[in-house]
Amino acid sequence: MTINGKTALCYAKMGADTIIRKFSTEDLPPKNRFHYHQGVFLSGVERTYLLCKDRKYYDYIKNWMDYHIDKDGKIKYNDNGLQFDDMMPSIMLFNLYNDTKDERYKKVLTDFSSLVDVWPTNARGGFWHKDIRPNQMWLDGLYMIGPYCVMYAYYFNKPYYYEIVYQQMNLMRRNMTDPVTGLLYHAWDDSKAIDWCDKETGLSPEFWGRAIGWYAVAVMDILDFFPQEHPRRHEFVSAGIDIINALVRFQDEQSGLWYQVVDKGDREGNWLETSCSSLYTYAIAKAIKKGLLHKSYVKYINRAYEGIINSLKFKDEDLIIPNICIGTGVGDYRFYIDRPTVENDLHGMGAFLLMCSEYYDTCNQLGL
C-alpha cells in the first residue's frame, strides 16, 4: 500500500531521518544511558537499514554503541540499579559482532548473560521487573529480556536460555491473561504486597496498550530465533496467536487504531494511542508473514497502517508522530488516561519504524 505516493519503507526512512537530524549519537535521549528508549528506536533503525541498505543507518547504530561501550567491553553509564530496561539495546550487538568480530560487543553480551543467571525471582521463578519492584512481573519485561536471551542461545549455542525465556512467557501467559477478553494485564505481583494489585490475584487493574504491545512484539521476535524443533516453540506460537486474536476485537473501526486502555474505548477520557497501535500492527504483520495467521488478517494491518499514517503531521522534512504516551508505571484507569502525550518520543518513533519496516516486508514477501 502506498499513501500519498510513499511506501512504508519511505515513511520508515523519513521517521529515522527526523530523529537522526535532531540528535547526534551521543545526545540520543536519555543521554548517557544504555536504555530501552534508545533501544526500541535503534532496533527500528536497524530493520530499516536491513531493507534499504543505506549505510548511514548502520553507522548511527554502531556509533551509538561505541559511545556507550568502553575499550574493555563495559557499559560506561550503567549505574541505574538492576533492571532489564538497560539490557534491551544489546540485541543490536549480535549483528555488529558478526560483522566486526569486535570482542567488546561479545563481552557486553556475555556479561548480560551472567546477570540473567543471578536475576532475582518471585516464588514461582518469575524475574522481578526491577530490583526496586520485588516479586513483580510486568509485560514490558518480556520485550526487554526475551529477544536477547533467545539470540544469545542461538548465536552462542547456549540452549539453557531458551528454557529461561519460555518460563517467563509461560508465567505471564498463565497468570496475567484475562479469561474473558484474552488480554493480558499490565503487571502481576505474586506476593500480592504492592498497593495497586488485586489482593486475591496479584494483578494490576487494567490492560495498558503499550505493555501488551511489548509482549506481542517480544513473542513474534522470539520466534525468529527459537528452534523449529524445540518442544516449547508451539507454545510461543499459541501465545502469539492468542494475544493477536484478543487484540483485533478491540481495534477501533473508524480510525484503525487502539486505545490507551485497550478494552475501554467507550469510556470517558480514553484516547487512541499511536505507539501501541504500531506495535500491534508489527506483531500481526509478522505473524501473517510467518504463516501463523491467515491472509484475511491483512485487513487489520491495512486499517491500522493507514490510520497511523493519516494521523501523522509534517514540518519541512520532519515527520511528526502524535499521541504517544510517555513512559509510565502501573495504575488504575484514571492513572493511564491522565498520562501526558508527546510527539516523536522514542517509544513512539521506534514502534513506528518497526511497524513500517515489517508492514513493507510482509506485503512484499506475500505479494500484497
- Return mean pLDDT, the chain: 96
Q: Report whether pLDDT(142) > 80.
A: yes
pLDDT at residue 79, as a whole number: 67
- Mean pLDDT confidence for 54-83: 90
pLDDT bucket at 175, cuts 50 / 70 / 90: very high
What is residue 183's predicted lDDT score, i.e. its pLDDT? 98
d(CA 23, CA 31): 10
Q: Structure pTM?
A: 0.98
Other CB atoms within 10 A of residue 10 CB: 16
Q: Is 175 exposed, middle or buried (0-12, 13-18, 19+ CB in 10 A)?
A: middle
**Residue 23 burial (CB count, 10 A):** 17
Mean pLDDT of 272-295: 98
Number of neighbouring beta carbons within 10 Å of residue 21: 11
One-character DSSP codes across 318-329: EEE---EEPP--
- C-alpha span between 121 and 134 (Å, rounded): 8
Provide the pLDDT for residue 81. 62
Mean pLDDT for the stretch of residues 117-140: 95
Q: Say what the pLDDT of residue 80 is.
A: 64
* Residue 101 φ/ψ region, left for φ over 0, alpha for ψ in the -120 to 50 degree band, beta for the rest: left
Share of the chain above pLDDT 90, in %: 95
313-315 vs 272-273, strand pairing mode: unpaired
Catalytic residue among 17, 85, 86, 140: 140
Instruction: State the residue for C-alpha cell 505481583.
Output: 189
189 catalytic residue (yes or no): no
